[in-house]
Structure 1
Amino acid sequence: MIKYCFNDKSVSFKLTDLTYTKKLPVNFQISKKFTQIKSTILAIGLVEPILVFIDQTDNSVKILDGHLRVEALKDLGEDKVNCLISTTYDTYTPNKKVNRITIIQIQRMLKEAVRVGVPVEMLCTALNISIESLKSNLSVLKGICPEVIDLFNDKDIPVNTFRTLKKMVPLRQIECANLMVKFENYSTLFSESLYHSSSPEYLIQLPKKKSDSKLANRKAIERLEKEMAQVHFDTQKIKETYGSNSLKLTIIISHIKKLLENPKVFHWLLRNKSDYLNELTEISDINKLT
């Protein structure tokens, strides 16, 4: 019989009654994720309920998942929130298992939303972006050949990588996309290096846009501030899992070393799976999680 990890009904709690289980990053209020959460709540309400655990030892309601949503609700003047109650005190929530959608999938969803009649203004408000940014998001793949879109369909590709690929003819786009897949490197820097190494006949000459330098500098500074806040937020999330990941790695390495010290296992791998033996030997030589 399958045992449920959550109660099947949501329960409303006062925001002041919820206890935080982790420290929020510094300057999280100006991170892109937090501002988007606030905008979404304003536009369509809370999409995902807060996940909590009721600790019987001190009768406290502890937040397992949704700290930023709680902060956003407080900023918006709310006093109550619907919560799902977990039957176990486990901060390793289902969101850790979620596969994040890619930029290609996001664009398809946006196009479908516009097609079925969702007002553009509502989309912009929910996503905390301007109409110009929405139009830019909808045109990310314009100029990208279908073969490249198929190659990148399930990959997390930066928007600027697509913008760099647009400067190339379709044949060169496919060549660069295959190289990115081969090296598992989809960064903007790598795409720009491929662009600059391309022959002139494989490049598309784009018209240069005139812009006010002061306005451009101010926008660049604002963008840099937001990116720095997001980097700090992401770093804090990595710190939270570093200890457990490091422990898991230590246990795995110890187990692999014991396997390789077994003569029968070692010689079987040497005769039948030499490539596996090489990989396991490299893993056993890792000293720590970097």
Structure 2
Amino acid sequence: MTKSAFLHQCTNVPIAHITPLKSLRPAVKSSLKYLQILASVKEVGLIEPPAVVPDPKKQNHFLLLDGHLRIEALKDLGSTSVDCIIATDDDTYSYNKRINRLAAVQDHKMIVNAIERGVSAERIGRALDLSPETVRQRFRLLDGICAEAAEILSDKPCPAHIFKILKKMKSIRQIEAAELMEGQRNYSLSFATAILASTQTQHLVTEHKKRSRKSDEALPSSDSMARLERELTALQSQNKAIEDSYGPDVLHLTVIRSYLGGILSCASIVNWLAKNQPDYLREFQKISEMSELPFSKKNN
């Protein structure tokens, strides 16, 4: 039976009664992210309530699960209390990994909705600590991008500069490029530039085609590009196979580690292995100390 992970109503909590679960570096207050949050809270108020969980050691006190920068911004602006989401357990993973990351397309849609409702680019800029021109650029982010490619990248950590590269391609190639980036989980500018370089001339928009004619001799041949695409497709299939088996493999590792941990906690067994099977003992110890699968670092 499932249960709600938080109370359905926000609660106003004194900021002095909220204890952060981590300390912030002094330099964080000069970071772009913090300055944007500070500007947003100052201009339009707090949009997303911090998430807290009751402190088991102090009555009417809370531990801060998510919203450390927002709380710091409120302190700097002189606030003494804040409406909070009250969680029922101390899960910090979901908030930090599954909720609070706006993709470029989502950021674009938010700005479009605000402007369509009559909010000026200047006010949005003040709220996000951006120049009005930057706001207008984000408003036009998907101009020239086909709907299918935009949908593929709608929730992906794809930088806005990627869309400038996609606009140099025709729709069918935009979709292929988006699928390649999604399959490889690689949304870097260099990867998108490589895809553009491997794009045949007939799949480029006219404007970019004219500008690229002078550099055609410097580009690899069409055969090289075709081979590169085949290699990328094969690599994508290999990654998909690893992705499909990763979950079960991690589960097996967890069970095996637990089992070996129990064996190695017995001194008599360890002594016997040290005398009779030292190679096995070394391998058992390595496995029991593993925190991740051996290939995970190579794939990150």
Q: Given the two structures, how large is their TM-score scaled by the length of structure 1?
A: 0.63
Over alpha carbons, which structure has the higher Rg? 2
Provide, for residues 140-182 of structure 1, a one-character-per-residue CA deviation record: whole Å limited to 9, x for no partner: 1222234433443443322111111223344543443343344
Any idea what SS the aligned residue of 2:125 has? helix
How many aligned positions are there?
227
Any idea what SS the aligned residue of 1:63 has? strand
Q: Counterpart in 2 of 1:120?
A: 121
In structure 1, stretches of 5+ residues that fail to align are 209-247, 259-284
How far the C-alpha of 1:71 sits from its partner, in A, is 0.5
1:190-201 equivalences in 2 (<5 Å): 190-199=191-200
Task: Provide the aligned C-alpha RMSD in A.
Answer: 3.7
Q: Distance in 1 between matches of 2:51 and 2:147?
A: 41
Q: CA 1:178–1:85 in 2, change beyond 3 Å: closer, same or farther? A: closer
1:153-172 equivalences in 2 (<5 Å): 153-172=154-173
Q: Counterpart in 2 of 1:287?
A: 294
Contact 1:39-1:127 at 8 Å conserved across structures? yes
Q: Distance in 2 between matches of 1:6 and 1:199?
A: 52
How far the C-alpha of 1:255 sits from its partner, in A, is 3.4
Provide, for residues 174-207 of structure 1, a one-character-per-residue CA deviation record: whole Å limited to 9, x for no partner: 4433433443433211111122334556363499
Q: Distance in 2 between matches of 1:34 and 1:95?
A: 16
Contact 2:121-2:136 at 8 Å conserved across structures? no
Deviates more, 1:92-101 or 1:22-31: 92-101
Q: Counterpart in 1 of 2:33?
A: 33
Any idea what SS the aligned residue of 2:52 has? strand
Contact 1:249-1:289 at 8 Å conserved across structures? no
Q: Counterpart in 1 of 2:15?
A: 15
Identity %: 34
How far the C-alpha of 1:47 sits from its partner, in A, is 1.6
Q: Distance in 2 between matches of 1:103 and 1:93?
A: 20
How far the C-alpha of 1:82 sits from its partner, in A, is 2.4
Q: Distance in 2 between matches of 1:11 and 1:108?
A: 30
Q: CA 1:23–1:126 in 2, change beyond 3 Å: closer, same or farther? A: same
Q: Distance in 2 between matches of 1:86 and 1:153?
A: 28
Q: CA 1:83–1:183 in 2, change beyond 3 Å: closer, same or farther? A: closer
Contact 1:250-1:288 at 8 Å conserved across structures? no
Provide, for residues 197-229 of structure 1, a one-character-per-residue CA deviation record: whole Å limited to 9, x for no partner: 345563634999xxxxxxxxxxxxxxxxxxxxx
Q: Counterpart in 1 of 2:190?
A: 189
